[in-house]
Amino acid sequence: MTAEAFRKLALAQSGAVEMAHGGHPDFRAGGKVFASLGYPDAGCGMVKLTPEQQAIFIEQAPEVFQPCKGAWGRGGATSVDLAAARPASVKAAVEAAWTNVTAKSKRK
């Protein structure tokens, strides 16, 4: 998977917009980040999963999904190795991340 394919998956989510922070692109819905590109390097993406979702994705494709470093990773932030990724698994992870942030917005 390429960074551009990841970007297209993220922007295909309802209400998704591309912005930037920390020098790399991120994807937001309702003002909340659900995915980003380029961290820790250009070959990676990130999806904001729950810790339970993260465990499932890592179990299914450990060569693709890994927890981000530190507290963010323990909270569900999950690194995606784009070169090793299959589009279907990344699509499922991006959709889960989008649902996570939009569900939180709807509860308020």
Which contacts (CB < 8 Å, 24+ apart) does range 61-68 have? 61/85, 61/86, 61/89, 64/89, 64/90, 65/89, 65/93
Q: What is the C-alpha to C-alpha distance for residues 34 and 36, in angstroms, rounded to an integer?
A: 7
| Record: fold of 3-102 | Aspartate Aminotransferase, domain 1 (3.90.1150)
How confident is the model over 52-92, as pLDDT tens digits? Answer: 999 999 999 999 999 999 999 999 999 999 999 999 999 99
The rounded distance, in Å, linking the Cα atoms of 104 and 23 is 26
Whether the pLDDT of residue 16 is over 80: the answer is yes
pLDDT, residue 108, reads 47
Q: Where are the domains of the chain?
A: 3-102
What's residue 21's pLDDT? 85
